[in-house]
Every structure is written in C-alpha cells, then in structure tokens.
Structure 1
C-alpha cells in the first residue's frame, strides 16, 4: 500500500509541473520564453547564413550580400536607383530549395502592384525596388525572410531557406 501511495505521489508531482512547449494562444510570453525565442531565431539565422555561404562557394555563379540579409546574383544591385512607394511593378518568380528542387508548379505572378502595398516576401520586394524593366535575379533567402517558422502550409516547410528566381515583366 505504501508503494502505491509513493508512486501515485510521484505521478501527481510529474503531472503538476507546468512545462510549456508552446506559447499560450492569445496570451503573453514570459521574459524567459521571449529570450528562448530570440536565441532560437538568432541561432537559426546564423546556421542558415553559414549553410548559404557554403552553398555559394560551390557555385560557378557569384552572389552578393544585400543589406536586408539575403544574397543576389546581380553585382552592385543596391547601387541602382531605388523605386519609391507608390510606383507600380509587374513581376513573377519561382521558388526552389537548395537542392534546386522547384517548389512551385507555376510561377507566382503579380501584375501592376504598388510598392508600399506589397503583401510579398520582404526579400522579393527589396530586390524588385532595385531591378529594372525585364531584369532577372536569383535571390538566396534565409527562412526568416521567406516563410519562417510556419512555412506556407503547402510545399514549403517551416524554417526553410529558399532560392527565388525573379523576373520583372
């Protein structure tokens, strides 16, 4: 009987510990949870940057870092005239993983979109601001600037860096 009471007590203590693996829905994160999240994002970003830089070393094509934390195959792209909010652009792009597997069946196409009203990946919008008419570029994008922690709920899983091939129409 005493063994049953001891085992039951241990089980109750084990169940009583509130170890939260996910933040509460609609709730607030504690300072510890925020720090854990920041550290995870920082470590993931550093690891992905190293992986992308290693991938670049094995390519025949040159890639150049952009200030927003992605790479592009157009030298000195940031020296081009930057398009302002309100300007209109039409473009399309395709998404690949770093094994060169195409993740979209058809190109994603947007016609006559205004800068400042974009609902697009930040790296795509940033690159488009510097690309001219009919220009093309390949972007190497860490997951934090792509679909992040949640993926796209389709073919792109969480925390996946991407290759994006973009063309101004």
Structure 2
C-alpha cells in the first residue's frame, strides 16, 4: 500500500510540474471595427473639407491661405511691418468668436470675452492653438476649421455638437514674452 501511495505521489509531482500556458480568448475579434471607424472618419473629413472648399470658391473677395496644419484662413487686418509671432510659453491676449459654416453665431466675442493663453502650455482646441502662432499683435484673422481641428467627435459638451466644423474670427490683442525664471541673489 505504501509503495502504491508513493508511486501515485511521485506521478502527481512529475506531471504537475508543468509551466503555465497562456489561455487563448474564446472569441477573436478582427480589426474590422477600427477599419470601419477610420473609413467613417475619412468620409467625415472629406465632406467637411468639400463644404469649406465650396465656401472658399464662392468668396472671391478674400485671399484664403491653406495652412499645413489642416485648416484655412484669411486676414481681416494684417500687420506687414511686425515680424514677431507668439512662441512657446509666450502669453497672448486675444478675442475670438465661433460660428457655424453657415455663419450662425455659436459663441460671440461677448460670450467668450478676451482671454489670455500661454502658448502650448494650456488647453485650447488644436486649430486655434496653431492659428494663434501664425498671427502678429494687432492682427485679425478668420479661420475655417474642420471638426478634427476644432472640437472633434465630442464637441464642447455645450453648444457645439459632434463633428461640427467652425469659423472663428480671432483678434490678437497682445503678446507678452515668456518670462525667465527669476534667479535669487545669494550674497
């Protein structure tokens, strides 16, 4: 009896010392959802850009500039003498509004009020953040932003819904250079 018990114990120990194997998922999903989302987003971008291009084609009074960042703009007031544009850390004071592509006010400049913004150090929607870097003090520029450069899929959770392209007229009031950290005198 003792021999059978020892053989059984030795057999259990021998076969139970196997390394654990990874479990395979019961179902495997393909990348079809991601591919569908990519195609849907491409269609949205193409439709928004076509709407913006139609606005540009129908407006022969202004010279629109295509930004390499994926939006379009024109100058309402342009400063041809200054060369200073905001850089990382500079604090800018600006005033802006937001309209739909049809021209209806979403946020007027009174709703937003002039605000200050430290370049690339605070939250601001990407198109406006990039647009401010193109401006000089005293300029007024109108930007046409596709939704992915404005508030995107989520909107602003208030007045701007999902995937809404916008027009924004921005006036750059002031540029203050980033201040160097003050060093203490250790005398």
TM-score, normalized by the shorter chain, greater than 0.5: yes
The one of 103, 107, 123 aligned to 1:104: 107
Partner of 1:149: 153
Relative to structure 1, is the Cα distance of residues 154 and 30 closer, same or farther in structure 2, using a 3 angstrom cutoff?
farther
| Cα-to-partner distance string for 1:15-35 (whole Å, 9 max, x where unaligned) | xxxxxxxxxxxxxx9622111
Displacement of 1:114 = 1.2
- Stretches of structure 1 that go unaligned for 5 or more consecutive residues are 1-28
Larger-gyration structure (1/2):
2
For 2:144 and 2:138, locate their aligned partners in 1 and report how far apart those are by CA, in whole Å. 20
Q: Does structure 2 retain, via aligned residues, the 8 Å contact 1:131–1:168?
A: yes
CA contact (8 A) 1:92 1:107 kept: no
Q: Contact between 2:128 and 2:150, CA under 8 Å: does it hold in 1?
A: no
TM-score by length of 1: 0.73
The question of 1:85 aligning with 2:88 is answered yes
1:55 counterpart = 2:55? yes
- Structure 2: segments with no counterpart, 5+ residues: 1-28, 174-187
- Matches of 2:50 and 2:154 in 1, distance apart? 22
- Report the Cα offset of residue 108 of structure 1: 2.3
Match of 1:14 in 2: none
SS in 2 for 1:73: strand
Report the equivalent of 1:120: 124
TM-score (norm 2): 0.67
8 Å contact kept, 2:135–2:172: yes
Q: Distance in 1 between matches of 2:47 and 2:131?
A: 23
**Number of residue equivalences:** 139
Instruction: Quote the Cα distance in structure 1 between the aligned partners of 2:115 and 2:102.
Output: 29
Q: Aligned partners of 2:122 and 2:53: how far apart in 1?
A: 28
